């Protein structure tokens, strides 16, 4: 019981960190290539973990046995970040915030094939209500804005990328072995992400341009590398093992709410009554999904 409670608290914390990444990522779009920035964030993340992993012999022994599985997990993880960066060059955080609410439903559908889990008909209704609740937060209760939403190139790219984050959550559970050390698995996932990005940059002949990063941008990348990649990767891996992908992804409904709260705290953007109602609905749906599993 205590283990489950701790896992819920950890994934809630990870949800706030993930919400912050949406705000930060939008500030970095339109400059350096998203492939280059993603490679940098993965590289910084695994270099921070490097001494902690290599100083223990038992950790070093598990590196090779973890490598193949970590490469699969990291492919989905890296693909989501790339899709998110590219999408935000063509669309808005408003649109991506709405599309992101489909992650729990997509994860649940994939869980049918990966783990043989079934979805009751009422669950589809609950997922739909969750999407409405989060949309209230994203569109600030403006119905006209909601109906004026039209899919553009960036929206389609982001919809594809959320399929990858759902597959990342599924694979993090599916490829975990009882004798795995979570720290080693996360480290190798970050190494794998760096390898995938380095291969993409080499094949596509994309310049790194890290010399163009100024002080403020480096702080943003620092947040993405440490908080939104290293810490969240560890928390998602740890909680996926305890709670399973469907429960972990249920917290996705809280992402727009965390973005709204963080924007209020750090950028003084007000939360109106409709947004507050949306936050309550999103929170209620998250609780219903968690209790229903």
Instruction: Give the chain's largest Cα–Cα span.
Output: 60
Residue 150's pLDDT is 63
Distance CA 127, CA 123 (A): 6
pLDDT tens figures, 237-286: 999 999 999 899 999 888 888 888 888 888 888 888 888 888 888 889 99
User: 265: exposed, middle or buried (C-beta count within 10 Å: 0-12, 13-18, 19+)?
Assistant: exposed
Residue 180 Ramachandran class (φ > 0 left, ψ -120 to 50 alpha, else beta): beta
pLDDT tens figures, 104-157: 989 989 988 888 877 788 888 888 888 888 877 777 677 676 666 666 788 889
Between helices 63-87 and 2-28, what is the axis angle to 10°? 50
Residue 232's pLDDT is 95
Whether this model's pTM surpasses 0.75: yes
């Amino acid at each position: 019981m205590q283990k489950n409670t701790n896992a819920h608290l950890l994934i809630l914390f990870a949800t706030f960190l993930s919400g912050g990444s949406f705000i930060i990522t939008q500030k970095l779009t339109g400059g350096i290539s998203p492939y280059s920035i993603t490679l940098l964030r993965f590289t910084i993340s695994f270099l921070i973990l490097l001494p902690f992993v290599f100083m223990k012999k038992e950790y070093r022994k598990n590196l090779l046995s973890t490598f193949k599985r970590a490469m699969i997990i990291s492919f989905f993880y890296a693909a989501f970040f790339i899709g998110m960066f590219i999408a935000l060059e063509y669309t808005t955080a408003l649109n991506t915030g709405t599309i992101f609410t489909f992650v729990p439903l997509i994860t649940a559908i994939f869980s049918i094939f990966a783990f043989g889990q079934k979805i009751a008909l009422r669950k589809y209704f609950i997922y739909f209500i969750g999407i409405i609740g989060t949309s209230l937060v994203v569109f600030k209760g403006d119905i006209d804005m909601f109906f004026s939403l039209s899919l553009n190139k960036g929206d389609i790219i982001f919809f594809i990328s959320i399929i990858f984050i759902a597959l990342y959550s599924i694979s993090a559970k599916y490829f975990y072995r009882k004798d795995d050390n979570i720290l080693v698995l996360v480290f190798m996932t970050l190494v794998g992400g760096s390898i995938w990005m380095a291969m993409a940059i080499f094949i596509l002949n994309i310049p790194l341009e890290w010399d163009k990063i100024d002080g403020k941008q480096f702080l943003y990348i620092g947040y993405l590398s440490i908080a939104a990649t290293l810490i969240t990767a560890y928390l998602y891996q740890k909680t996926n093992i305890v709670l399973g992908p469907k429960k972990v992804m249920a917290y996705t409904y809280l992402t727009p709410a965390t973005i709204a709260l963080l924007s209020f705290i750090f950028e003084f953007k007000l939360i109106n009554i409709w947004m507050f109602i949306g936050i309550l609905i999103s929170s209620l749906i998250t609780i219903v999904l968690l209790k229903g599993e």
